Amino acid sequence: MDNEQALIQRAQKGDHDAFAALVSEHQGYVYNLALRVVKDENEALDLTQETFVRAWRSLPNFRGQSQFRTWLYRITTNLCYNRLPDLRRSLNDLGDDVMGEIPESNLENPSQKFESKEIKTNLHKAIDDLDANYKLLITLRYQNELSYEEIASTLNLPLGTVKTGLFRAKEKLRLALANYQLEEPWPVS
Amino acid sequence: MAGFLTPNEQENIIEDALRSYPLANMPRDISQTVMSRIGREPGPRFQITRMDYLLTIVLTLVLGAIILGFQALPPIALLQMRIQGILLWQSFLVNYRWLLPVTSIILGTFLAGIAVHQLLRSQRR
């Protein structure tokens, strides 16, 4: 982190090498976020490039109130909003009816218990089929590992809306799992 | 024995699937493309343009002239100016008092209009 801080400070002074190091470090996550939303490799690559070019231009305005990566994700999601005008509305329309905490899994290593590749593949496909707004929330939470507060700040949404969105995304996955289970019940240990 | 999962087991399986959802591999490294695009742009530095210098000089001269001008005036002229100012203000209060609420209402409506417009625009996005 200290190293990243130093890179950011050097980049703010116009150091291209420092910025190149930051691009190398974060491009994978930015690309992944864009790809999950726009579902097209070329468009996602284009958005990733645009994110870093805009980040370079806005670097003097980065004061370090948020983490660099959440700042980058904010630029990416704003670019996604421009490409998909309905995305912003669909996120706002989620509402905020989930007031409490979303329960997290209590397994220390869930993969040890549920080893069925078929179930996992099926659920990964169900995640792929989710609407862009849910995929955006899931990617920020589970792949980019942001907290609910960081997601809310990145997407400029109320905290309740973020929780509601993630809760509903899980409900959709639960439904997909139930449907799969109806088709092919499996042994439970 | 074939069986159905409990809600807790479902939750764990879903959580596991979400955490193991694979990161997509990048088709290619974009560092060089980004750096070549950036290379064509000026560095992200705080810059002061010639216009900023010019504006600063003009403002300084104008302010300096006003301050020096007032200091150079004889005391009697300053007193007369003050009297004229008071008379002008009294005349405004007597003849154009209605201007204050009207201006406030117009300004308030204008600002409210801008706020509503911005809200509608952000809703549409």
Q: What is the pLDDT of residue B9?
A: 80
Q: Assign B83 a pLDDT band (cuts: 50, 70, 90).
A: very high
Q: Which of B1, B14, B25, B124 to mutate to test the interface with A (most CBs of A within 10 A)?
A: B14
| Most confident listed range (A35-44, A96-105, A107-116, B1-10) | A35-44
Residues 6+ away with beta carbon under 8 Å from B107? none
Residues 6+ away with beta carbon under 8 Å from A19? A7, A11, A52, A56, A59, B35, B38
A94-189, CATH topology level? Arc Repressor Mutant, subunit A (1.10.10)
* A21-51 confidence digits (pLDDT tens): 999 999 999 999 999 999 899 999 999 999 9
Q: What is the pLDDT of residue B45?
A: 60
Q: Assign A72 a pLDDT band (cuts: 50, 70, 90).
A: very high
Q: Are B119 and A92 in contact (CB under 8 A)?
A: no
Q: Where are the domains of chain A?
A: 1-87, 94-189
Q: What is the pLDDT of residue A18?
A: 92
Output the 3-class SS for A97-157.
CCCCCCCCCCCCCHHHHCCCHHHHHHHHHHHHCCCHHHHHHHHHHHHCCCCHHHHHHHHCC
Q: What is the pLDDT of residue B47?
A: 65
Pairwise CB contact (< 8 Å): A105 & B11: yes
A7 interaction partners in chain B (CB closer than 8 Å): none
Q: How far is B36 from chain A (nearest CA, A)?
A: 10
Would an 8 Å CB–CB cutoff place B49 in contact with chain A? no
What pTM was computed for the model? Answer: 0.65
- The interface pTM score, or ipTM, of the predicted complex is 0.74
pLDDT at A52 over 90: yes
DSSP state of A13: T
Q: What is the pLDDT of residue A102?
A: 57
Q: Mean of the per-residue pLDDT values for chain A?
A: 84
Report chain B's C-alpha Rg in angstroms: 34
Tokens representing residue A32 in the block:
């992944």
Tokens representing residue A122 in the block:
């099926």
Q: Are A142 and B18 in contact (CB under 8 A)?
A: yes
A89 interaction partners in chain B (CB closer than 8 Å): 123-125
pLDDT at A110 over 80: no
Task: Output the CATH code of domain A1-87.
Answer: 1.10.1740.10
pLDDT at A1 over 90: no
Q: Are A28 and A36 in contact (CB under 8 A)?
A: no
| Most confident listed range (A93-107, B4-18, B65-79) | B65-79
